[in-house]
Structure 1
């Protein structure tokens, strides 16, 4: 059925539900590989300087965000293994989440993208479907399952 499934994870409950659904699909084909991807957004010094919290030594928080994203992927890998997932690889990328997910899917030639309807952030503009999942589903090079 599917040979490569990309699961976008962000640590939210919805992304873990999406992961569980992807594992169900992976179990249909023993050769199916699962790729977990967490994307963090790069923050410029300008964006950091606008923060309400201003440390005395302003630094770009990319390293902390990359470490957090790595921990999200590791947690998702463990969860997937506990649910019976196999052939799992984890990846961390930076950039705008929707663009990074679509580009990663193209580069890795995935057959299916699975992601939660809402991630860790949602706003009034994404009442029915998260803005990232909306953009990914509209630009993806393959089918997208939104859980």
Structure 2
């Protein structure tokens, strides 16, 4: 049935619920791999320079967002291990979330994508949005479970 499940995580309650569903599937199907993926939006130095408030030292936005995404993935991995999940791997990518999720699923030959319905932030600047789950379901070549 399923051998590889991709779970898009952004730290939100809905994405953690999606992870819990994937963990439940893993319990039912032996040897299922779970791939955790956190996607952050790329910000250029030009975009950062447009900020009205500029700190004394300016971190590169992509570096900060990448580190935050790594924390989200690590937290999700710990959550999975705490629920006795096995074969869990984490990944961080930058780009447009829906596009990256669909492409990552193809590259890793995922049999199922599990996403939350809505992410942590507003529609304008969230990592995973309600529209992301809609786009993923529209473009994915494998089944998508929206939690």
Is the TM-score greater than 0.5? yes
- Distance in 2 (alpha carbons) for counterparts of 1:50 and 1:25: 45
**1:33-68 alpha-carbon deviations (Å, 9 max, x no partner):** 000001111101232123343224445311111111
Aligned position for 2:135: 135
Residue correspondence of structure 1 range 54-133 to structure 2 within 5 A: 54-123=54-123, 130-133=130-133
Whether the aligned pair in 1 keeps the contact of 2:41 and 2:95 (CA below 8 Å) is yes
Which string of whole-angstrom CA distances, capped at 9 and with x for unpartnered residues, describes residues 96-146 of structure 1?
Answer: 11111111000000000001000112339xxxx801111111111111000
**Distance in 1 of aligned mates of 2:114 and 2:51:** 33
C-alpha distance in 2, partners of 1:52/1:107? 40
Is 1:7 aligned to residue 7 of structure 2? yes
How many aligned positions are there?
143
Give the SS at the match of 1:5.
Answer: strand
CA drift at 1:32: 0.6
Structure-2 residue corresponding to 1:28 = 28
Structure 1 distance, partners of 2:102, 2:114, is 12
Where do 5+ consecutive residues of structure 1 fail to align?
A: none
TM-score by length of 2: 0.90
Q: Within 2, Cα distance between the matches of 1:53 and 1:136?
A: 35
Q: Which runs of 5+ in 2 are unaligned?
A: none
- Aligned partners of 1:53, 1:118: CA distance in 2, in Å? 29
Q: Distance in 1 between matches of 2:5 and 2:100?
A: 16
When residues 138 and 41 of structure 1 are mapped into structure 2, their CA distance, relative to the original with a 3 A threshold, is same
Note if contact 2:10-2:72 (Cα within 8 Å) is conserved in structure 1. yes
Tell me how far apart the structure 1 counterparts of residues 108 and 64 of structure 2 sit (CA, whole Å): 26
The answer (yes or no) to whether the contact 1:5–1:33 under 8 Å persists in 2 is: yes
TM-score, normalising length from structure 1? 0.90
Report the Cα offset of residue 86 of structure 1.
Answer: 0.9
